[in-house]
Amino acid sequence: MFEELKGLVTEKTNLKSAHIDRVSIRETLRIINSEDATVAKEVRKELPYIARAVEFVVSALKGGGRLFYMGAGTSGRLGVLDAAECPPTFGTPPSMIQGIIAGGYRSLIRSREGVEDDISAGRKDIRRRNVRPGDVVIGVTASKRTPYVLAGLAEAKRLGAVTIFISCNPRSMAPKEFDLAICPVVGPEVIAGSSRMKAGSAQKMVLNMISTASMIRIGKIYGNRMVDLKAASEKLRERSKRIIMETCHLSYVDADKALGRAGGSVKIAIVMAQKGLSRAGAKKLLLESEGFVHRALGEKN
């Protein structure tokens, strides 16, 4: 393992921060910020591969399949975070997008680094979720070598799921048996080996892109507004009203009434208001339009 780690970009020493322990706080922050500024550029290089991932995910979700993120440590937490934010943001059922982290729930709040080496747990966690053909499993590992993730992806592949591998080391080092590799190579970390930094930022960007673009492609967005959000808090209820006000040119009071008549659904409220339909009629039109509001309203692409 020593030789393997030695060859990983994510484990190398960053010469730009070689004396970070001897500089001022402002200079420390400047160095970190300068390195962070390189992350988006490296992610941009991976856009063709991220686009392919989105195609896989959209196909799966439209066919009744599910998306799973799988990782250990920071990578696992990022997957769980992205999955957890989809239901309130896009109105998805919790089962549609799920995060799997090595060591389970306890690993979310306290680091348990040894669990990343548990090959058996990786396989079991995939089987426990009943992964099957039609699903997509995305393994996230900054180093490219995490045994838990590799074993889980291999099991998912065996069970017929589409498998996507995300790493912050070169594509030439990625396993070849999976369907797709996404490899933003952000270079050595400011603190050598601390892949929660640039690598973590890159992974978060990639996961944001995959989930957001996939939700757009299955009709969860109208224009650039989240019209399938679940108004489960006061903030989200007020956001829902504002969306209706802006898209339908209604007053606050009228938007509130429209939301109530639509049973709390922003999508249905917009179609009801714009087309003069009942709730049942708006739901039927949205169903015929595959959930896309602009199609239901007869707007051009």
pLDDT at 3: 46
CA distance 21 to 25: 10
Q: What is the CATH number of the domain that holds 142?
A: 3.40.50.10490
Q: How confident is the model at residue 2 (pLDDT cuts 50, 70, 90)?
A: very low
Q: What burial class does residue 20 get, using C-beta atoms within 10 Å of its C-beta: 0-12 exposed, 13-18 middle, 19+ buried?
A: middle
Q: Do residues 182 and 49 lie in contact, with contact meaning Cβ atoms separated by under 8 Å?
A: yes
Helix (H, G, I), strand (E, B) or coil at 225: strand
- Paired strand residues for 195: none
Q: Known catalytic residue: 116?
A: yes
* Residues across the chain: 301
Asked if residue 271 and residue 177 are part of one domain, the reply reads no
Q: In this structure, what token pair is assigned to residue 82?
A: 């992205």
Residue 2 lies in a domain: no
Residue 3 lies in a domain: no
Q: Known catalytic residue: 11?
A: no
Exactly one of 85, 113, 177, 246 is catalytic; name it. Answer: 85
CA distance 124 to 3: 29
What backbone phi and psi angles, to 5 degrees, belong to 136?
A: -125, 130
Per-residue pLDDT reduced to its tens digit, 186-213: 999 999 988 899 999 999 999 999 999 9
Asked if residue 95 and residue 180 are part of one domain, the reply reads yes
Gyration radius of the chain's alpha carbons: 22
Asked if residue 29 and residue 76 are part of one domain, the reply reads yes
Other Cβ atoms closer than 10 A to 196: 17
Domain membership of residue 286 as a residue range: 221-296
Q: What is the CATH number of the domain that holds 274?
A: 1.10.8.1080
- Paired strand residues for 197: none
Q: What burial class does residue 55 get, using C-beta atoms within 10 Å of its C-beta: 0-12 exposed, 13-18 middle, 19+ buried?
A: middle
Model confidence, pTM: 0.92
Asked if residue 232 and residue 161 are part of one domain, the reply reads no
Per-residue pLDDT reduced to its tens digit, 51-107: 999 999 999 999 999 999 999 999 999 999 999 999 999 999 999 999 999 999 888
Mean residue pLDDT across the chain: 93
Torsion angle (degrees, nearest 10) of CA 247, 250, 251, 252: -50
Per-residue pLDDT reduced to its tens digit, 219-232: 999 999 999 987 77
Asked if residue 175 and residue 236 are part of one domain, the reply reads no
pLDDT at 106: 86
Of the three residues 217, 247, 279, the one that is the final residue of a domain is 217
Of the three residues 201, 217, 233, the one that is the final residue of a domain is 217
State yes or no: pLDDT of 6 exceeds 80.
Answer: no
Of the three residues 171, 194, 217, the one that is the final residue of a domain is 217
Angle subtended at Cα 97 by Cα 292 and Cα 262, rounded to the nearest 5 degrees: 40
Place of tokens 């995939």: 126
What is the number of domains present in the chain? 2
Per-residue pLDDT reduced to its tens digit, 237-252: 999 999 999 999 999 9
Asked if residue 242 and residue 199 are part of one domain, the reply reads no
Give all strands (DSSP E) within the chain, no chain letters: 67-71, 97-101, 136-140, 162-166, 180-182, 221-222, 225-226
Exactly one of 35, 46, 116, 189 is catalytic; name it. Answer: 116
How many percent of the chain have pLDDT more than 70? 97
DSSP 173: G
Q: Do residues 228 and 268 lie in contact, with contact meaning Cβ atoms separated by under 8 Å?
A: no
Asked if residue 152 and residue 187 are part of one domain, the reply reads yes
Residue 266 lies in a domain: yes
Instruction: For the chain, give percent helix, strand, coil, nearest 5.
Output: 55, 10, 35
